[in-house]
Amino acid sequence: MKNFVFIILVLFLSVSCKKELVKEPKGLIERGKMIDIMYDLSILEAMKYQNPLSLDSVESDPKKFIYKKYKVDSLQFAQSNIYYAADYETYKDMFDELGKRLAVQQRATDSLVKIDDKKAAKAAKKKVAETKDSIKSSSNPASASPQSRQKLLDQ
């Protein structure tokens, strides 16, 4: 009985050993470069989703630009993607790193948007204050200069 359990255990371990499901492609893109490509493609997809017309004006396919930037072709990217996807842990780690990069970029973008919003609100507030001042000065013609009185009379 002990021998039977031992044989079953050995068979189970030998079968469960990790076999390479997908062979390494000839032109495998290195992990870091692959993450960079995936990051750029993610940004591209976000642009398509947020403002689809922004990419319609581009003459060529934006994905081709990204492939050209990293000196890879679409087949090489697809084969490398399949290879990395076959190993779940590695692929998950790659996407976790990608998610961190996107989160950092999102925080930076959000802070820039907040700064722009504050500037716009400040400018609007200043414009309202200037309008109120001009209304006050025009409502009291006695305190107005002769030129501004003439403008009021012309209206």
Percent of the chain with pLDDT over 90: 34
Residue 135: pLDDT band (50, 70, 90) is: low
Position of tokens 């842990």? 89
Global confidence as pTM: 0.62
Condensed to tens digits (0 to 9), the pLDDT of residues 14-45 reads 655 556 677 888 999 999 999 999 999 998 88
- pLDDT of 128 reads 77
Q: How confident is the model at residue 141 (pLDDT cuts 50, 70, 90)?
A: low
pLDDT digits (tens, 9 = 90+) for 124-134: 888 777 776 66
Mean pLDDT of 6-15: 61
Q: How confident is the model at residue 145 (pLDDT cuts 50, 70, 90)?
A: low
More confident residue, 154 or 76: 76
Q: Residue 137: pLDDT above 60?
A: no
pLDDT of 74 over the 80 cut: yes
